[in-house]
Structure 1
Amino acid sequence: MAHADLCADTKALTQALEEHASQADLDHEAAVQKRPSSPNGRFSRKPYVRPNSDGGAEQQRRIASAAIALPPLRKGDVMIDPLPISKEKEQLLSRTRPSWLPPKDPREEKKHLKEYQRMMAASLQAEKRRAASATQVVELKDSMNARLARVWETHVLPNWDTAIAEPRTRELWWRGIAPRSRGEVWQRAVGNELHLSEASYTAALGRAKVCQAELARLSTEQRRKRREARWFEDIERDAEETFPELRIFQAGRPMHEALLGVLMAYSFYRSDVGYSHGIHLPTALLLLTLFPLPSSSGPSSSSNVAPTFITLANLLNRPLPLAFLTADTAAIHRTRSLVLHTLSHKFPTLHAHLTAPGTDVRVDEWLDPLFSTLLCGPRGKLGVERSVRVMDVVVFEGDRACVRAAVAVLGRLESRLYGARGEVLEVLGWEGREAWEGSLGSEEEFLGGVREAGKRV
C-alpha cells in the first residue's frame, strides 16, 4: 500500500532497493556466523549497535544480546540420522533445527537466533539481579547485626539488671542477639546458680579420663557391665552426628575434642544422670557461641571449654530440661499437657489427629525428642541458625519459650503430620530421616511462629 501512489519506474526501483537491503542483511549474518570466536565463546570483535531513540538501557540490552554465544550447528544424531552429512547438506545446517528436518528459511533462522540471544541476555540480567539482591540481603543483615551489637554493648551489658527489666529490651532478643555479643549475653542470661568454675570442669573431666583409662584395662565382657562404658560409646556416636553439615564436630575436626570433653565432664558431674542422648546438640550450639577458634592455647584448653560446661550445666538445671534428664514423670506429664493444650487452640485439627486412638502414636514418641534436644530437634533438624535464634529467647524466657517453640515446630510441619504412626515418626521421631528444611520458613518467619504460639486465641 505504501507504493500505490508511485509511478511504475519508481516502484520498481524501490522494490529493488528493498530486496538488496534484505540480501545485504542475510550476507552480513552469514559472515557473522562464520567469524572466528574468542576462546571464551564470544565474538572477537565488539558488535555494532545502531543509534536509536530508546535510550542507553535499550542499547545495553542489544549489546548484551549480540554478545551471547550462538548455539552450535545441529550436525545430527547418529541414532536418527546415521548417514554422513554431504557437503551440500552441510551448507544448509541450522543452529535451531535438527539436521534431519527440512532446511529452515534463512530469514526465519535469523529471527530465531536473535530471539535466542535476547532470551539468553534476559536470563543473564535476571541472574545478575538475583546476585545483587542476595548481596543486598547479606549487607542488610550485617548492618543490622552491627547496630544490635552496639545496643547490647553500650546499653544492655553495662546496665544489665536495669536494662533486662525494660520491656523494650525483650524485643532485642526476639530480633536476634548480634553474634559478637551472643556469647556474653547467653552466659549472663543463664547465670551460674550452681556456682561452677573452671576447677569444677577440670575435676569432672579428670574423673571421666580416669574412668576411661580404667575401662580400657577391662575385658570386653567386663566393660559391657559398666554404665560408664555406654556413656563413652554414646558420646562418640553422637559426636559424629552433631550438625554434620558444619563438619567441625566429627573425629579429626577442630571442635571434636572440645565437644567430647564437655559431654564427658557433664556426665561425671551429674553421675546420677550420666549421659543423655540429645544434649550433644545444645552443647554444640554453646560451643559454637562460646568456644574460641583453636589458638596457641590449644583447642582443648580448660580455660576455653569451661564456660561452655558451666553454661550447659546451669541451662540443663532449669525445670523443663531437668525433668527430661532425670525422667521426672510428673513434671514431664505437665509439660506434655501444656503443649497439647496450646496445640489444641492453635492447631485443633492437628491436635485431634495426633491424639486420636487410630493414629496409634504416643505423645512421648513425637514430643520428647524436641525437649530432650532443647528444641534443636532429632538429628538437629531445626538447623543451626534457627536453633541459635530459639536459644536467644530460651536463655531469657526459659521453659515457656520451649513450649512455644515446640508448638511452632508442629504448626510448621502440620501438612506432613497427618499420616499413620510411621509417617509421623519419620518426621518427628528419634530415628526419622525426613528433613524439616523447606517447611520451617526463614529464621524470621519461624520466630514469628514461635511468638504467635504464645498469644491467646
Structure 2
Amino acid sequence: MTFEPLRYPPRILCIGEDPNQTKMVDLVIMEGYLHKQSKHLKLWKIRYFVLTESTLAYSKKSGKKAKNTYELKDVDVVSDQNYVVHDHNFVFEVKHGEKRMFLSAPTESERLKWVQGIKTTRSKLFATTDDGDTEGKHSEAESLGSFLGGVFRLTAPSKMQQRQKRQVTKERKEERKRAHLSKMKKSFSAVWLEDVLPSWGDSSAHPQDFVEALCFAGIPKEVRGRAWSAMLGNRLQINEQLFEICKTRAKAVLLEMTLAKDKEEKSRRSTDKRVSLPTSPRLAATATAEAHVAEQLIADNERNIKLVQRDMPRTFGNHPLFQTGAAGTQKTYEVLEAYTCYRPDLGYVQGMSYLAAILCLHLDSFGAFRAMVSLMSTRLLFDMYRLEEERTFRYLTVYDSILKHELPQLYDHFQEIGMDPKMYVVDWAFTLFTRCVPLEVVLRIWDCYILIGTPFFFQACMAILIMYEDALLTMDLGDAMKFLHNVPKTCSAHDFFEAMETVNLSRPAINELLSGGDVRPWSPVGRRPVEVEYPEAYEY
C-alpha cells in the first residue's frame, strides 16, 4: 500500500457579512526567516517570508503586516546565481518583472526547500489557471455564500491546529517560546563562529535560551561539527593519545585475526605430530586459565571488529562518502574499531555505525571518536546499548504512556493492530532516527538532541507520529511497520518542527515520567515538581 503525501493544504473558504463579497483566502505553503539583501545599502537584513498558494510576501517579523507582496504568476526564481555572495549562507534570486531580489538561507537544504517550494507552487498555480478551475471555485463560493446568507465563516481546522489549542503547562509554553529565534543582524554562521563558540560555557555571554533557539533554527553545516563538539563536551577527558592507543589495540586485534587464520590454515596442511612434554598439574591449570582469559578477550575483540566490517556496507550505502574504500567509510571504521577497544564491555552493537557515520560527516577521526564517547554516555544511549531488558522496557513503558497521552486515537489503533513500541522505537533510539528518517531532518533532530538530551527524543518521536497520524490510522501492522522504518523522503524539517510545536508534554514532565511519575491532566494545584537525579555515569 502506498500513500501520496498531501503537499498542498486545501483552501479555506471565508464568507463575510455580504455574501456577494465572498473571497478565497490562500493557505500558507511554507514560511520562515531568510536574509534579504537591501536594495541600496547592499546589507543583509533578516525578514520573515510567507509563501502561499498564489503570493510570496515578507515582513520585518513574524505576525507583522506584510511589507511587500508579490503575485506568484509574476515571479521567477533563479537557484544557480553567481551575481551575489553572502558569506556562510546560500543565495538564490527572485525576479519580479525587472526587479531582482536576492535572498539567502543558512543551509543549502533550506535554500533548496524555498526554491523548490516557489517553483512547485508556481507551476501548480499555472496548471490550475489553464484548466479554468479558478473560475469554477469562485462561482461555487459565491453560490454557497448566497445560500448561507453570509452568516457563517466556514473553516476546516486541521488536527495540527486543533492540537495547538489544547491546554499545556507553563513549562511547555516556555519551551515553545525558546524554540523561536529573535531577530539577528548577523548570519547564523557568524553568530556561532564569532559570538557563541568562543565564549562557550559562559552562560552570561549567551543564555541557554538563546543557544536553544539557534539549535532549533538549524546549525549551519560549516559549523555543525564544532557546535556538536562544544555541546557534547569532554567530561571523560578523551585525548589524542588515548585515541591512538585504542587504534593500536584495534590494529593488533586485526593482526591477531590474520595470524590466527594463517595458523589454522597451516595446521590443516601439516601432518607432523608434536610431542607433548609432561608438566605439573598446578602450572598447567594456571597457564590454561590465563590463556582462556586472553583468548576470550581476543575473541570478543575479533567478534566486535567482524561485526563492524559486516555492518558498515549497510550504513548510508547510497551516500558517496560511504562507498567501499571511500574516505568516510575508512574514517568510520577507525572510529568504531577504536571505540570497541575503548569500551569492550559494550562492544559493538548494530546501530553504532549510523551514529559514528553521522559524526564522521562533520568531524575528523579524533573529533568523531571523542564525540562518540560523549554521545554514548548520554542517558538514553547508555541505557539502550547496555542491552539490559529492564532498562530498555522502562523506556518503552514511558514511550507508551506518552503516546497514549499525546495521540490516544493512534494509540488505540496501534493496540488494535498489534503494533508494539519495541517494533520500531528501539530502532529509532539505537540510531537516533538515522536509519529511518531523511538525512536533512536527522541532522536537525541531532542539533537539538545533543543540546537537550533524552526528553527531546520522546518529543521527536511524537512529532513524527503527529505528521503522519492520518496515514498511520489507515494502515495494518505490516504497512505501519514498513512506514515507520522508512519515513517518506518528502518529510521536511519545516514539517517536523511544525509538528513539534504541537507536542503537549514538556521536557520536565517527560523527566518526571522517566523517574517513575505518571501522565496527569495539568492543573496548578495537582502539579508535583519532582527533582530527577541520575547516576554519575550519565552525561546530560
SS of alignment partner, residue 218 of structure 1: helix
The alignment status of 1:192 with 2:234, answered yes or no, reads: yes
Partner of 2:421: 363
In terms of fraction of residues, the more helix-rich structure is: 1
Residue 326 of structure 1 and its aligned partner are, at CA, apart by 0.3
Q: Does the C-alpha gap of structure 1 residues 219 and 153 become closer, same or farther in structure 2, counting only changes over 3 Å?
A: closer
Q: C-alpha distance in 2, partners of 1:139/1:266?
A: 43
On the 8 A contact 2:341/2:347 being kept in 1, the answer is: yes
On the 8 A contact 1:204/1:265 being kept in 2, the answer is: yes
Q: C-alpha distance in 2, partners of 1:306/1:452?
A: 39
On the 8 A contact 1:190/1:315 being kept in 2, the answer is: yes
Unaligned runs of 5+ residues in structure 2 are: 1-71, 81-90, 95-101, 112-185, 265-294, 507-520, 522-540
Query: What percent of counterpart residues are identical?
Result: 22
On the 8 A contact 2:359/2:368 being kept in 1, the answer is: yes
The alignment status of 1:315 with 2:360, answered yes or no, reads: no
SS of alignment partner, residue 320 of structure 2: coil
Partner of 2:494: 444
Deviations 1:179-229 (A, max 9, x none): 222221111110111111111111112111111121223359989994434
Amino acid across the alignment from 2:488? W
Q: Which residue of 404, 421, 424 maps to 2:459?
A: 404
Q: Which residue of 241, 249, 260 maps to 2:333?
A: 260
Q: C-alpha distance in 2, partners of 1:360/1:220?
A: 50
SS of alignment partner, residue 432 of structure 2: coil
On the 8 A contact 2:301/2:344 being kept in 1, the answer is: no
On the 8 A contact 1:282/1:374 being kept in 2, the answer is: yes
SS of alignment partner, residue 187 of structure 2: helix
Residue 435 of structure 1 and its aligned partner are, at CA, apart by 4.8
Q: C-alpha distance in 2, partners of 1:165/1:331?
A: 34
Amino acid across the alignment from 1:375? F
Residue 268 of structure 1 and its aligned partner are, at CA, apart by 1.4
What TM-score do the two structures reach when normalised by structure 1? Answer: 0.61
Residue 269 of structure 1 and its aligned partner are, at CA, apart by 0.9
The alignment status of 1:413 with 2:486, answered yes or no, reads: no
On the 8 A contact 2:428/2:436 being kept in 1, the answer is: no
Amino acid across the alignment from 1:413? Y
Q: Does the C-alpha gap of structure 1 residues 427 and 227 become closer, same or farther in structure 2, counting only changes over 3 Å?
A: farther
On the 8 A contact 1:204/1:266 being kept in 2, the answer is: yes
Partner of 1:382: 437
Q: Does the C-alpha gap of structure 1 residues 435 and 177 become closer, same or farther in structure 2, counting only changes over 3 Å?
A: closer
Q: CA RMSD in A?
A: 3.2
The alignment status of 1:325 with 2:385, answered yes or no, reads: yes
Q: Does the C-alpha gap of structure 1 residues 316 and 253 become closer, same or farther in structure 2, counting only changes over 3 Å?
A: same
Q: Does the C-alpha gap of structure 1 residues 175 and 209 become closer, same or farther in structure 2, counting only changes over 3 Å?
A: same
Partner of 2:309: 236
What TM-score do the two structures reach when normalised by structure 2? Answer: 0.52
Q: C-alpha distance in 1, partners of 2:252/2:374?
A: 25
Q: C-alpha distance in 2, partners of 1:152/1:253?
A: 30
Q: C-alpha distance in 1, partners of 2:455/2:312?
A: 29
Deviations 1:45-99 (A, max 9, x none): xxxxxxxxxxxxxxxxxxxxxxxxxxxxxxxxxxxxxxxxxxxxxxxxxxxxxxx
Q: C-alpha distance in 2, partners of 1:453/1:136?
A: 35
The alignment status of 1:204 with 2:246, answered yes or no, reads: yes
Q: C-alpha distance in 2, partners of 1:282/1:164?
A: 29
Amino acid across the alignment from 1:254? A
Q: C-alpha distance in 1, partners of 2:459/2:106?
A: 28
Partner of 1:392: 447
Residue 288 of structure 1 and its aligned partner are, at CA, apart by 1.0
Partner of 1:277: 350
Q: Does the C-alpha gap of structure 1 residues 139 and 421 become closer, same or farther in structure 2, counting only changes over 3 Å?
A: same
* Alignment coverage as a number of residue pairs: 309
Q: Does the C-alpha gap of structure 1 residues 406 and 136 become closer, same or farther in structure 2, counting only changes over 3 Å?
A: farther
Partner of 1:428: 484
Deviations 1:92-117 (A, max 9, x none): xxxxxxxxxxxxxxxxxxxxxxxxxx
Greater RCO (CA < 8 Å, at least 6 residues apart): 2
SS of alignment partner, residue 129 of structure 1: strand
SS of alignment partner, residue 243 of structure 1: coil
Partner of 1:140: 104
The alignment status of 1:453 with 2:503, answered yes or no, reads: yes
Q: Does the C-alpha gap of structure 1 residues 261 and 330 become closer, same or farther in structure 2, counting only changes over 3 Å?
A: same
Q: Does the C-alpha gap of structure 1 residues 250 and 315 become closer, same or farther in structure 2, counting only changes over 3 Å?
A: same
Amino acid across the alignment from 1:190? L
Q: C-alpha distance in 2, partners of 1:219/1:171?
A: 55
Residue 367 of structure 1 and its aligned partner are, at CA, apart by 0.9
SS of alignment partner, residue 140 of structure 1: strand
SS of alignment partner, residue 452 of structure 1: coil
Deviations 1:20-69 (A, max 9, x none): xxxxxxxxxxxxxxxxxxxxxxxxxxxxxxxxxxxxxxxxxxxxxxxxxx
Partner of 1:156: 196
Q: Does the C-alpha gap of structure 1 residues 415 and 214 become closer, same or farther in structure 2, counting only changes over 3 Å?
A: farther
Residue 248 of structure 1 and its aligned partner are, at CA, apart by 0.9
On the 8 A contact 1:390/1:447 being kept in 2, the answer is: no
Residue 147 of structure 1 and its aligned partner are, at CA, apart by 0.3
SS of alignment partner, residue 248 of structure 2: helix
Residue 279 of structure 1 and its aligned partner are, at CA, apart by 1.6
Amino acid across the alignment from 1:406? C
Q: Does the C-alpha gap of structure 1 residues 450 and 289 become closer, same or farther in structure 2, counting only changes over 3 Å?
A: farther
Partner of 1:373: 431
Q: C-alpha distance in 2, partners of 1:445/1:316?
A: 28
Amino acid across the alignment from 1:311? A
Residue 451 of structure 1 and its aligned partner are, at CA, apart by 4.2
The alignment status of 1:217 with 2:259, answered yes or no, reads: yes
Q: C-alpha distance in 2, partners of 1:253/1:387?
A: 22
After alignment, is 340-349 or 219-228 more displaced? 219-228
Q: C-alpha distance in 1, partners of 2:487/2:458?
A: 21
On the 8 A contact 1:273/1:326 being kept in 2, the answer is: yes
Unaligned runs of 5+ residues in structure 1 are: 1-124, 292-304
On the 8 A contact 2:106/2:188 being kept in 1, the answer is: no
In terms of fraction of residues, the more strand-rich structure is: 2
Amino acid across the alignment from 2:489? E
SS of alignment partner, residue 217 of structure 1: helix
Partner of 1:352: 412
Q: C-alpha distance in 1, partners of 2:329/2:73?
A: 42
Q: C-alpha distance in 2, partners of 1:195/1:183?
A: 18
After alignment, is 410-419 or 151-160 more displaced? 410-419
**Rg bigger for which structure?**
1
The alignment status of 1:168 with 2:210, answered yes or no, reads: yes
Q: C-alpha distance in 2, partners of 1:454/1:150?
A: 33
On the 8 A contact 2:436/2:484 being kept in 1, the answer is: no
Residue 127 of structure 1 and its aligned partner are, at CA, apart by 12
